[in-house]
């Protein structure tokens, strides 16, 4: 702007400067051409965009750079779709290259030489796939994006795996980081053999231990297997993807039909609404209750539009499994208010899944046995925890309720009771997040064998390394 130059002219000058110093580096050349193409699209200079993107693709194909190719093909699809023309070939290529581990950017996701982030452009890719009626590809792409986001957070917060898995986990994560680092000095085609070896090892791990493999890199989603499991479990799945500019919900109903809807709400808008809802719920008085109800009704209409409601079961006893994303993990879906003023839980039986692949690994069981374990660190009768536990316990038969309070709220006791016969665990205690790392937050239980306060403390990552075969916690 200072030199009155357009953004693409400034990037062209970079290529000329590289040419003066010798042959431009292929990796940088394809990135610069791709970035110019992306800028031209934003400026609606479509013929120039296509020319630059073709140059970028020519270079990236020679260097096997999937990280550039998926972006180029996504951007190549924008112009024809905007004109109502087909772009199936470009979108198929974009979705294919997006799935490459070499194209992933997990722990270093903030490093981005392009105008749009991976998150933003991948959400746009999902939207375009839906516009082209490529529903299955859109769902698989959305799932991979969510898996990548989780892996990035897991690594940033030093998430720990079980001790038996640690050596293999560290080996694969470090090897991938080395391969990405090597691409700064050599193009991906020089590491093709090593990438193929890494992918073979990850595929073997996924066949043997899918849960561990998912903490390293997204495991390809077998849609047919997922649909079959939803049908056999007789469950309807609502799977959300909340993007920075675009949001979506995918639905798999009890008949195995896959559908999708674009939601007219962004990540920041949902954050503001959910925060406002929590603030209203913390206040007392009719005004606060009315404000809270208005927010819950607005969220209902945004997150469960008519297209989704058509696929929801009519029988309130039939299970609906919700897979949240982003800020939706802080939203109590059961408390959403429909247009008749009823809470969603009055019309549907709900459960929450951390991810679609966790459903494929474990399924869900809606058992006739509704026995429940309460775990409360505070045993004082007048405490908030005790009052909450008492209110919920009244909904069950006395012989179905077991309370673990005070000294009994030990992690070994919890594991033992989960094994025996109790499918539901309820933690009745305030959960204070005192820093940015959720994994280190204290839980309302203790390690009985510990002697010091530090040894007795149970954090969230302690629970991750435990085995709790319960239906719901």
Give helix 7-20 / helix 26-42 axis angle, nearest 10°.
170
Instruction: Find, among 112, 49, 105, the residue nearest to 77 by Cα.
Output: 49
pLDDT tens, 122-175? 999 999 999 999 999 999 999 999 999 999 888 888 888 888 999 999 999 999
**Residue 47 and residue 85 in contact, taking contact as beta carbons nearer than 8 Å:** no
CB neighbours (10 Å) of residue 350? 16
Highest mean pLDDT out of 21-25, 60-64, 71-75: 71-75
How confident is the model at residue 454, as a pLDDT?
Answer: 78
CB neighbours (10 Å) of residue 25? 17
How confident is the model at residue 1, as a pLDDT?
Answer: 39
CA distance 50 to 15: 18
* Pairwise pLDDT comparison (446 vs 422), residue with the higher score: 446
pLDDT tens, 319-358? 999 999 999 998 999 999 999 999 999 999 898 888 998 8
How confident is the model at residue 109, as a pLDDT?
Answer: 42
How confident is the model at residue 2, as a pLDDT?
Answer: 40
What is the rounded end-to-end Cα distance, in angstroms, of the chain?
55
Please say if the pLDDT value at position 108 is more than 60. Answer: no
Q: Is 91 exposed, middle or buried (0-12, 13-18, 19+ CB in 10 A)?
A: buried
* Pairwise pLDDT comparison (273 vs 8), residue with the higher score: 273
Percent of the chain with pLDDT over 90: 42
Beta-carbon contacts of 175 under 8 Å, excluding residues fewer than 6 positions away, are 198
Q: Is 298 exposed, middle or buried (0-12, 13-18, 19+ CB in 10 A)?
A: middle
Instruction: Find, among 319, 368, 367, 362, the residue nearest to 229 by Cα.
Output: 362
pLDDT tens, 431-443? 666 556 777 777 7
How confident is the model at residue 3, as a pLDDT?
Answer: 45
Torsion on CA atoms 250, 342, 371, 427, rounded to nearest 10: 80
Report the SS3 class of residue 421: coil
Q: What are 225's two structure tokens?
A: 């297997």
Phi, psi of 248 (to 5 degrees): -145, 160
Half-sphere exposure at residue 104, Cβ-oriented, CA atoms within 13 angstroms: 25
Percent of the chain with pLDDT over 70: 86
Please say if the pLDDT value at position 274 is more than 90. Answer: yes
Give helix 135-156 / helix 223-233 axis angle, nearest 10°.
90
Q: What are 332's two structure tokens?
A: 């109590």
Instruction: Find, among 150, 155, 208, 161, the residue nearest to 180 by Cα.
Output: 155
What is the pTM (predicted TM-score) of this model? Answer: 0.86
């Amino acid at each position: 702007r200072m030199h009155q130059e357009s953004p693409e002219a400034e990037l062209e000058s970079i290529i000329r400067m590289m040419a003066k110093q010798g042959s431009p580096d292929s990796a940088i050349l394809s990135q610069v051409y791709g970035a110019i193409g992306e800028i031209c699209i934003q400026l609606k200079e479509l013929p120039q965009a296509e020319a630059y993107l073709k140059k970028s693709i020519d270079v990236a194909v020679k260097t096997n750079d999937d990280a550039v190719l998926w972006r180029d093909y996504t951007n190549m699809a924008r112009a024809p779709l905007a004109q109502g023309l087909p772009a199936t070939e470009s979108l198929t290529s974009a979705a294919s290259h997006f799935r490459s581990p070499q194209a992933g950017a997990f722990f270093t996701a903030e490093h981005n030489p392009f105008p749009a982030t991976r998150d933003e452009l991948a959400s746009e890719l999902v939207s375009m796939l839906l516009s082209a009626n490529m529903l299955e590809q859109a769902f698989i792409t959305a799932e991979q994006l969510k898996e990548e986001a989780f892996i990035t957070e897991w690594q940033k917060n030093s998430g720990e795996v079980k001790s038996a898995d640690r050596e293999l986990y560290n080996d694969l994560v470090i090897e991938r980081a080395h391969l990405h680092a090597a691409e700064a000095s050599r193009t991906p085609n020089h590491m093709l053999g090593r990438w193929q070896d890494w992918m073979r090892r990850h595929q073997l791990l996924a066949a043997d231990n899918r849960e561990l493999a998912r903490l390293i890199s997204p495991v390809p989603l077998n849609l047919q297997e997922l649909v079959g499991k939803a049908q056999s479990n007789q469950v309807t799945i609502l799977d959300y993807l909340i993007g920075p500019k675009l949001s979506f919900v995918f639905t798999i109903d009890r008949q195995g039909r896959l559908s999708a809807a674009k939601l007219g709400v962004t990540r920041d808008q949902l954050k503001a609404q959910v925060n406002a809802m929590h603030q209203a719920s913390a206040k007392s008085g009719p005004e606060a209750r009315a404000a809270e109800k208005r927010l819950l009704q607005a969220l209902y209409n945004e997150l469960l539009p008519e297209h989704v409601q058509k696929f929801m079961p009519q029988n309130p006893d039939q299970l609906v499994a919700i897979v949240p994303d982003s800020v939706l993990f802080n939203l109590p879906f059961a408390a959403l208010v429909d247009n008749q003023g009823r809470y969603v839980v009055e019309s549907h039986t709900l459960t929450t899944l951390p991810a679609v692949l966790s459903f494929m690994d474990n399924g869900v069981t809606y058992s006739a046995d509704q026995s429940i374990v309460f775990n409360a660190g505070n045993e004082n009768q007048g405490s908030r925890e005790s009052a909450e536990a008492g209110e919920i316990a009244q909904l069950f038969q006395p012989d179905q309720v077991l309370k673990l309070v005070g000294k009994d709220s030990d992690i070994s006791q919890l594991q033992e009771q989960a094994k025996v016969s109790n499918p539901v665990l309820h933690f009745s205690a305030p959960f204070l997040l005192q820093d940015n790392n959720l994994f280190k937050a204290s839980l309302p239980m203790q390690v009985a064998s510990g002697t010091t306060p530090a040894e007795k403390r149970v954090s969230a990552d302690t629970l991750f390394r435990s085995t709790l075969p319960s239906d719901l916690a």
